[in-house]
Amino acid sequence: MSVKSPNSWEARAEANSFYGFTDLPSVHERGTVVLTHGKGPYIFDTNGKSYLDGNSGLWNMVAGFDHPGLIATAQAQYAKFPGYHSFFGRMSDQTVMLSEKLVEVSPFARGKVFYTNSGSEANDTMVKMLWFLGRHEGHPERRKIITRVNAYHGVTAVSASMTGKPYNSVFGLPLPGFIHVGCPHYWRFGQAGETEAQFTARLARELEETIIKEGPDTIAGFFAEPVMGAGGVIPPSKGYFQAVHKVLKKYGIPLISDEVICGFGRTGNTWGCQTYDFMPDAIISSKNLTAGFFPMGAVILGPELTDRLQAASEAIEEFPHGFTASGHPVGCAIALKAIDVVMNEGLAENVHKLTPLFEGGLKRLAENPNIGEWRGKGLMGALEAVKDKATKTPFDGSLSVSERIANACTDHGLICRPLGQAIVLCPPFIMTEAHMDEMFDKLEKALKKVFKEVA
């Protein structure tokens, strides 16, 4: 264990901060990295050390950490109107303009937007909307929510129940009525001799069998990330969304596209549902919505759900749900600017320009005998560490291989994220070719060091 002065930033952090989603043995051994500022795609700690952030903060700092336009927008809005709500028929002009913009850039011909403070709250809100509809329309039994194993939809009690990760069992979750069907990761879950098309067909059959078993009239909705993010960057198998959408339409079950990570350019299109060519009934947005400069989430409703929810709300004169900071004027102003930055300042184009280089770097590192698979879409990718490449056998969990790789990257001045036995990269959209070279060079050094120790 490292020796830390009682007055050091590391010791002060550990003495008074309760950590979430943090490997505590690493913190006790290495200390907390306490940060002071950022510049472009780099962050800086209290010792003056710089790190290339290969994870865009938490998927979201796509314009870097010091974008002058976003900073100026926030400053100007704070000076003009620093805060308000969206209750009781009152909302800021920025809120109105953002709703117009989100419907405009959505795949929907028309719709409406409801604001939250995070993606977790947006998914939670969407579930309440579906439950509200079921009761209003005479189907109070429509309560069950279907998601997938390895999916991540948030951390509230409801959104954590949607999240198909085993760690939620420590909270006694999922709540009753939350169902997890198969993960569309062909490399890991495809059966011996099964083609990718057969794998996709099997998952669609499993979904339909689950719907029939549970009772179609008890299912409120199906939620899916176009590319699973915190599950380890898992793109769907070929034809997956076309196959499951057909099943859902057969039984009248809404498809909700959780675009918290994929939305606003991460997969190479404005929305992940556009990348995989399917039309959802609603979209969940956050993260890139404000380029990380403000905590905000949004539920973007398509035409049918808009009409149904409007009718349900008018029947009781309101939709009895909301948050104090819903539609916050500063957040909405920042979001309007962030959308403009991504779509009109060359960031979306840069994603397309850098994607071949990004994929090439992943492919090159996947030649390592202890990397079983590289996978990704747009500027989100992962390398899966394995003990044996031929059999896809993972390392023993006690070795904490991905955590060790991430720590070695930190030592080299690179931030990347361990997820399971994968190392995940989702760099900012402002990256250059030189930044890409730096990122992969540092990651390669970390891989060689750790695999030498554990192989």
Q: Is residue 28, in this structure, part of any structural domain at all? A: no
Residue 248's domain comprises: 71-344
Are 356 and 430 contained in the same domain? Answer: yes
**How far is C-alpha 56 from the chain's CA centre?**
12
Structurally, how many domains does the chain consist of? 2
Give all strands of the β-sheet with 282-285 in edge-to-edge order: 112-116, 297-301, 282-285, 255-258, 219-224, 144-148, 178-181
Q: Is residue 7, in this structure, part of any structural domain at all? A: no
Long-range contacts of 337-341 (CB under 8 A, 24+ apart): 337/69, 337/70, 337/73, 338/63, 338/70, 338/264, 338/288, 338/289, 338/290, 338/291, 338/293, 339/101, 339/105, 339/264, 339/289, 341/63, 341/67, 341/69, 341/70, 341/291
Q: Is residue 203, in this structure, part of any structural domain at all? A: yes
Are 306 and 350 contained in the same domain? Answer: no
Judge whether 446 and 438 are in contact, CB under 8 Å: no
Alpha carbon distances (Å) from 7 to 12, 22, 48, 324: 6, 22, 17, 37
Q: Is residue 4, in this structure, part of any structural domain at all? A: no
Q: What is the three-state SS of 75-129? A: HHHHHHCCCCCCCCCCCCHHHHHHHHHHHHHCCCCCCEEEEECCHHHHHHHHHHH
- The candidate with the shortest Cα–Cα distance to 301, out of 432, 17, 111, is 111
Are 387 and 412 contained in the same domain? Answer: yes
Structure tokens at 192: 């011996």
pLDDT at 455 (0 to 100)? 78
Alpha carbon distances (Å) from 45 to 33, 35, 48, 49, 50: 7, 4, 5, 6, 7
Are 151 and 272 contained in the same domain? Answer: yes
Q: What is the DSSP letter of 436?
A: H
Are 350 and 340 contained in the same domain? Answer: no
Are 351 and 272 contained in the same domain? Answer: no
Are 100 and 118 contained in the same domain? Answer: yes
Q: Is residue 410, in this structure, part of any structural domain at all? A: yes
pLDDT at 12 (0 to 100)? 94
C-alpha 455/C-alpha 448 separation (Å) is 10
C-alpha 411/C-alpha 447 separation (Å) is 12
C-alpha 86/C-alpha 139 separation (Å) is 30
Are 398 and 450 contained in the same domain? Answer: yes
Q: Report the SS3 class of residue 450.
A: helix
Q: Is residue 139, in this structure, part of any structural domain at all? A: yes
Backbone angles phi, psi at 224, to 5 degrees: -150, 135
Task: Name the strand (E) or helix (H) holding 44.
Answer: strand 42-45
Boundary (domain end) residue, out of 325, 344, 363: 344
Boundary (domain end) residue, out of 315, 344, 373: 344
Q: What is the DSSP letter of 215?
A: -
Pairing of strands 144-148, 178-181: parallel
Are 315 and 206 contained in the same domain? Answer: yes
pLDDT at 6 (0 to 100)? 84
pLDDT in tens, the chain (455 residues): 455 788 999 999 999 999 999 999 999 999 999 999 999 999 999 999 999 999 999 999 999 999 999 999 999 999 999 999 999 999 999 999 999 999 999 999 999 999 999 999 999 999 999 999 999 999 999 999 999 999 999 999 999 999 999 999 999 999 999 999 999 999 999 999 999 999 999 999 999 999 999 999 999 999 999 999 999 999 999 999 999 999 999 999 999 999 999 999 999 999 999 999 999 999 999 999 999 999 999 999 999 999 999 999 999 999 999 999 999 999 999 999 999 999 999 999 999 999 999 999 999 999 999 999 999 999 999 999 999 999 999 999 999 999 999 999 999 999 999 999 999 999 999 999 999 999 999 999 999 999 999 97
Q: Is residue 17, in this structure, part of any structural domain at all? A: no
pLDDT at 205 (0 to 100)? 98
Question: 368: burial class by Cβ within 10 Å (0-12, 13-18, 19+)?
Answer: middle
